[in-house]
Structure 1
Amino acid sequence: MLSLPRSPVFRLLILLIAAVIVLTISLHKETLYDRNYWDFSQQQQQQNQQQQQQEQNHAKLPAEGSRERVPLITFRIPISLGLFDGQVPENLHLTHDVAIPHNIPPWTKADTEMLGTSIGHTLEAELLRRDYGPNENLAGRPGRINFARLARAERIYKALWNHVYPLYQSLSGPDHMREKQLFEMAKNKSEVDFFLRLERRLYPWVLHHRSTSFSLHGTFKGKGFVFCAGNRQFEFLVTSIQALRSRLKSELPIQVFHMGENDLSSSRQKYLKDMTFGIEIVDVTQILDDSYIRLGGWSIKPFAMLASTFEEVMFIDADAYFLQDPAILFEDPGYLATGALFFFDRTLFPDQKGGSDWIKSFLPIMSSFPPTSRLFNYLTMHEQESGVVLINKKTRFPGLISICKMNDKWERDLYSYRVFYGDKETFWIGFEMVQEPYAFMRNYAGAIGELRPDNAQSVCGALLHQDHQGNPLWWNGGLYRNKNAGVTRNLDFGYWMSGGGQQQHRERYTRNKEAMIEVLTDLELHSSNDLTLEPRDPEWDFNESCLAGGQVHTLTQREKDLANGYIGIDKIAREDGSKMDRGETPDPTQHDWDTAAV
């Protein structure tokens, strides 16, 4: 038998050689991973060069009805199918930014046994500690809420939810009987008891007329659109819904949520139900306990999505309008792969560190998305536009309920809405809290409207968003020239400009030397001057609501007719809204919504 010499020096030498071999293998794997991550293709670089040349030579408006494909980004997101359920197309990175989460390990028998130890009792005591009661006022006392502890509690809740839900499903009878049986089970199963108490601590508002979230989850079915509106948004809502029904012929059911009759009057509710088919009006406070949430303004949006009966839900702002049937988004490859689809906001107000620093303070574990985001690289203050949001509630329930938590009364007042502008960032950050996958459509918000009189290469108007093929899909901000500046003249819709999406990656090179060296090494280049970079993103004139620096596209005739036709619908909506303000009761069935003109 061959045996090694017993010399300590020789043994140490053998160990060193083994360590070098292991390290070499590891570095080789890392190189392969990096090569997959930064997968530049020569063909795409040539396309980018051609696009740059086109923009340099572009000195006149495009021809009527022309449609040129928006250039796609060449970078690849490392996708591992084992990280979450769902089939991810290999080329999805060309059209979407996909957040690949870290797996939260499933709850095991060892976890249950740990609850009986001293460490387990300490953990339970920490995570079950209530931050505040429904009637408490935390103004001036932000220290009562600890987002790091909240994130830990929500991740454990997710693991428990996935563990307990199959137990609940195995029980027989209607929901109230199964909930009763589950509470009996909790007497002998410590993990079930921990789950029930943790759910009440984190999300007490979901237990309104029910004992667990499972009975709410069991009501979800089908697909549909969700809107939120009070009396002040009524005219916008009428126009948006009639745009879907009378012009785009969209037939999916619609649920309109409000916060009680003082929010949306009974006469306006009746008008909405009478004006077209498939509309249900819902008071969200009858579904969820508002004594905790104390809803107001933007915060109703995720709670309406949660309270809706749709399994696959698309939230649409009251002043958002489509150029295609929004139902196509339920077939979007990013949505199908992850169960959640978001849209980027404009690139505005760079060098703001407050948002990313706050997120890093309570989320040591993040998906693949934040490090490469504009927000984390200080390129913009806003990452997400929440005018349209899609979530599959069957598969991404822990993510949605986490979003709602960020919009709870004191969480939003003391943190979320102070750090960010309203609800927008709470969607993707809520998913980060519990490590759920999501996809962003890879085009930053552009502009739709009319040309600037003093600059024919600048498009002014509302915020445009594109589909995954680069075509105009929807816009947010209504029909006015610049409502934020008080310019309430209706737009003359004729042109659009993409917000781009390439600058995000070029700026990573210039700001992050380690990333630059990594990319140059991977591509076997000697200098950053050898890199072929994408065209610069267009830039916003925020005060004028104009976008310049990109290629001006002309809307097709159909798109022009749709967009400008919505102004005729809006005129009817405003006239009827004024009549209601005077106490009159206009009849929406008397209007010819299909042919309404300005």
Structure 2
Amino acid sequence: MHSIKRSPILKLVAAVAVNVGFVLICQQYWRVTDDNNGVATGGAGTGLGSMPEQVLVQQHVYQPPQEQNPLNQQYAAGIDETPLRTFEVPEELYLTHDVAIPYDIPAWTAADSAALRTAMGYDMMSDLLKPEYSVHEQVTEKSQLDFARTSRAERIYKSLWNFLRPVYNSLPGEDSREKERVFVKELALKRVDVDFFLRLEKRLYPFLHLKHRTSFSLQDSYKGRGFVLCAGNNQFKFIVSSIQAIRRLQPDLPIQLFHMGDGDLSKERQEYVREMTNDIEVLDITEFLDNDYMKLGGWSIKAFSLLASRFEEAMLVDSDAYFLQDPAKLFEDPGYKATGGLFFYDRTLFPDWHTGPDWIRSMIPIMSTLPNQLRSFKGISTHEQESGVVVINKKTRLNGLLAICKMNSKWERDLFSYRMFYGDKETFWVGFEMVQEPYSFMRTYGGVVGELRDDPVKEIEKLEARLEQEDDGRSAKERQMDRDEITHQKKRPVLEKESVCGAQLHLDHLGQPMWWNGGLMRNKNEGVQRILDFKYWMAGGGMSSHRERNVRDKELQRELLWDLGKASMDEVERGEEEEDPEWIFHESCMYGGEVHLLEEEKRRLTESFVAMDRVGKEDEVKIRAGEGVDPKEHDWASM
């Protein structure tokens, strides 16, 4: 012993021997055998010995050793090089739609179910099942909600949903009620994955369980196609003509109108709607979904109405939206057929907004291929989606719709969603992103339909000439109104190109006017109550093949420059393409694009909508006065 201490060489040899022995022991201890189907054979007490390798890899706990390629330039043999996003659509679809190709969420396996019985599985379940608030609680602080954790739980729920759906389908029973009884009362007592699924669904989507015990039976209740609308007493003046407009173009598909009880839409108005056309139902949504959890109000009823509707393929239509073509054509739209979710872009307005995109990135670190291409992420528009018309296939995209509803629940919308966005609008595509469902946007941005914008210079000249006439018999108040109007006209920009003013227009995939949102008034948001004259329209742009060049976000600019091999944005050319038209927001006017004359047939259609609207408003006055009104007395078809 004394010689070892005194000799550096012997000391080094001893240290090497000890380390080699330790390495050999560890290799034997952690050896993975091929004839044991990839299961680690470590000894007791490791916490890993009995878990399948696949599960450990998914949980980032264990990575199998990888042999290096001899050239050290390629991945080792056996590494899965499958693309991260394997959902596919026809290549020609990108000419007419913007398509979100989702990141593949790993499929749940039997090995994952087995892992739930481990200490790590128990810990994961405990974390995801922990409620953020109770049904009776008033949530006032943002810190009480964790959307990143919620989106993680929703993705795990989706993976488990797809795994257990065939199990539910195979259960005995002639109807969903009997299948649910077996699934909830028997199978959940034996299988930890079924128990976890039921608890997770209750944690995420408690509003489902008023009439159904699982989302499986709710989905099984969906049949056919139809339109979904929402209205209270305040929207009744719009809904009459909107529904009749649908019926003018599409007489066959059923309609469901949802409200939040008699205090929201009076019984007299409910009866009026039931009698005004064929195949229409007027329904209280709180009889289908649990309002103790939803706590509905305002825009939030829209997403939940889609969920509650009986249709497998449902089209949500705003109460002030009007179609210029048969709306059923959207069920055949290529983007909808390919993805199961069809959305429309809003107008391009208010650049350099970072709050919303930053929040989305914080809760959804891994997203589809689309967000970084969107105007809001590029910093060139605050608004992205217009939710006046939404088309969803609930057979294939139910998990996406559930995530949308979660964002529209009481505290989620009050503390986050509706603060980040303008109401429910962006919750549709963001909800699909939360669970990585594919979806498509009609490629054109929001345009305009209405009248040509008058020239402020000519208006000022006309008003000043009238003021010079001292003995025109008008009062001092009327003359002051002219002076005020001159002041207003002087603030309006003078444009070199013609501008169209009116409602927000949306095109079909062929580039033709399909529908508009905003009612029949010249500009309802600014209180301009005059009926709009629908003569002209202008597309909102968005068809440029070089849209990626329009980037204001600095980080995305650097990425673009790197892709293009450019040193600065000054070197980036847009090609020969024209710039997209621009909005004068407070006037609801668009300029800079080609002005189109609305087809005569479509003009006559808009005139019929105006006539229907006039009759509906007259009946609304009678209802308020307590008079009985029979909508069947009107010849709606001849208007």
| Fold in common (TM above 0.5) | yes
Amino acid corresponding to residue 199 of structure 2 in structure 1: R
Q: Distance in 2 between matches of 1:527 and 1:161?
A: 50
Offset, 1:285: 0.2
RMSD: 2.2
Any gaps of 5 or more consecutive residues in structure 2? Answer: 1-67, 456-494
Deviation at residue 20 of structure 1 after TM alignment: 4.1
Q: How far off is 1:90 after superposition?
A: 1.6
Distance 1:531 1:415, change over 3 A: closer
Cα distance change on mapping 1:530 and 1:447 into 2, 3 Å: closer
2:168 is the alignment partner of 1:168: yes
Who is 2:282 aligned against?
A: 281
Alpha-carbon distance change, 283 to 270 in structure 1, aligned in 2, over 3 angstroms? same
What is the distance in 1 between the residues matched to 2:535 and 2:621?
A: 29
The residue aligned with 1:234 is 236
Q: 1:243-392 alignment to 2 at 5 Å? A: 243-246=245-248, 248-392=249-393
Is the 2:250–2:327 Cα contact (8 Å) retained in structure 1?
no
Q: Match for 2:199 among 197, 200, 225?
A: 197
Distance 2:269 2:74 in 1: 74
Partner of 1:70: none
Would you say 1:18 and 2:71 are equivalent positions?
yes
For the 8 Å contact 1:81–1:88, the answer to whether it is kept is no
Q: Which amino acid is 1:193 matched to?
A: D
CA contact (8 A) 2:300 2:424 kept: yes
Q: Distance in 1 between matches of 2:305 and 2:440?
A: 21
User: Helix, strand or coil: the match of 2:178?
Assistant: helix
2:186 maps to 1:143: no
Contact kept? 2:379, 2:553, Cα under 8 Å: no
Q: What residue is the counterpart of 2:224 in the other structure?
A: 222
Paired with 2:311 and 2:377, the residues of 1 have a C-alpha distance of 34
Question: How far is 1:180 from its partner?
Answer: 1.2
Q: CA deviation at 1:520?
A: 5.2
Q: Could you tell which deviates more after superposition, 303-312 or 532-541?
A: 532-541
1:465 and 2:510 aligned: no
In structure 2, the residue matched to 1:545 is: 588
Equivalent pair of 1:481/1:487 in contact (CA under 8 Å): yes
CA deviation after TM superposition for structure 1 residue 504, in Å: 4.0
* Pair 1:112–1:572, CA change in 2 (3 A): same
Cα deviations by residue, 1:171-201 (Å, 9 ceiling, x for unpaired): 1222222111012111111111100010011
In the alignment, residue 505 of structure 1 is paired with which amino acid?
A: E
- Cα deviations by residue, 1:322-378 (Å, 9 ceiling, x for unpaired): 000100000000000000000000000000100000101111110001111111111
Q: CA, structure 1 residues 353+533, in 2 after alignment: closer, same or farther (shift >3 Å)?
A: farther
**Residue in 2 aligned with 1:449?**
450
- Who is 1:500 aligned against? 541
Relative to 1, partners in 2 of residues 1:231 and 1:111: Cα closer, same or farther, differing over 3 Å? same
Residue 632 of structure 2: which of 582, 589, 593 is its match? Answer: 589
**Structure 1 residues 374 and 489: CA distance shift in structure 2, 3 A:** same
Deviations 1:136-168 (A, max 9, x none): 1012x2211100100110001001111111111
The one-letter amino acid paired with 1:515 is L
Larger Rg: 2
* Alpha carbons of structure 1 residues 272 and 531: separation in structure 2 relative to 1, 3 Å: closer
Per the alignment, residue 83 of structure 1 pairs with 86
d(CA) in 2 for partners of 1:243, 1:105: 45
* One-letter amino acid of the counterpart of residue 621, structure 2: S
One-letter identity of the residue aligned with 1:506: R
Does the 8 A contact of 1:509 with 1:515 survive in 2? no
Name the structure 2 match of 1:182: 183
Q: CA deviation at 1:534?
A: 2.4
- Looking at structure 2, the residues matched to 196 and 308 of structure 1 have their Cα atoms a distance apart, in angstroms, of 23
Q: TM-score, normalised by structure 1?
A: 0.84
- Would the alpha carbon gap of residues 439 and 529 (structure 1) be closer, same or farther in structure 2, given more than 3 Å must change? closer
SS in 2 for 1:272: helix
Per the alignment, residue 481 of structure 1 pairs with 522
Higher relative contact order (CA 8 A, sep 6+): 1
Mark the CA change 1:81 to 1:362 in structure 2 (over 3 Å): closer, same or farther: closer
Counterpart in the other structure of 1:532: 575
Question: How many Å apart are 1:282 and its aligned residue?
Answer: 1.0
- Kindly state the Cα deviation for residue 398 of structure 1 after the two structures are TM-superposed: 0.4
After superposition, the C-alpha distances for 1:418-466 in whole angstroms (9 at most, x for unaligned) are: 1111000000000001000000000000010000011661000000000
Contact kept in structure 2, 1:334 and 1:439, CA below 8 Å: yes
Higher alpha-carbon deviation: 174-183 or 565-574: 174-183
Question: Which amino acid in the other structure matches residue 474 of structure 1?
Answer: W
Return the alpha-carbon distance in structure 2 between the equivalents of residues 358 and 453 of structure 1. 41
After TM superposition, the score normalised by the length of structure 2 is 0.79
SS at match of 1:402: helix
1:3 match: none
Give the alignment partner of residue 518 of structure 1, picking from 563, 574, 599: 563
Judge conservation of contact 1:100–1:368 (CA < 8 Å) in 2: yes
Q: Identity over the aligned pairs, expressed in percent?
A: 54
2:344 partner SS: strand
Q: Give the aligned partner of residue 97 of structure 1.
A: 98
- Could you list the runs of 5+ residues in structure 1 that have no partner in the other structure? 1-14, 30-78
- In 2, Cα distance between the equivalents of 1:321 and 1:314? 13
